[in-house]
Amino acid sequence: MSYLANKGCPDCKKLAPIYEELAEGYATSKTVNIASVDGDEHKDLSVKYGIQGFPTIKYFDGKSKDPVDYQGGRDMASFQEFISTKTGSKSKKKITAPSSVEMLTDGSFSGAVGGDKDVLVAFTAPWCGRE
């Protein structure tokens, strides 16, 4: 699935680490497989399943040839809940707690920095590619 992280669109790149982590959680499952298709390379599959934008996630239940469009969140907890509801299978990977990093803004910066606490601040940009 490295194409998601390496040459995918921004939304595919954002999904890649979450999807990789999801796949790790089901790696030993005998009933659930986490898979992907490079829609550029395999256009016939994209056309066959009506893919109009990326990333599109579809659920195949193993009984029907017609998939269900996944409409849930793009986070680990949403994926795990969806799979559990559909299959009864649980991921071997625990959901990690949300980040404890305090996201500062123009309005909150002066209240968080310069007081009686030491603060380590990472200045980042979503477009820089060094995530």
Q: 14 or 108, which is more confident?
A: 14
Domain boundaries, the chain: 2-87
In the chain, pLDDT over 90 holds for what percent of residues?
34
In contact, 1 and 67? CB cutoff 8 Å: no
Between CA 25 and CA 34 the distance in angstroms is: 9
- What CATH fold (topology level) applies to the domain 2-87? Glutaredoxin (3.40.30)
pTM, two decimals, is 0.68
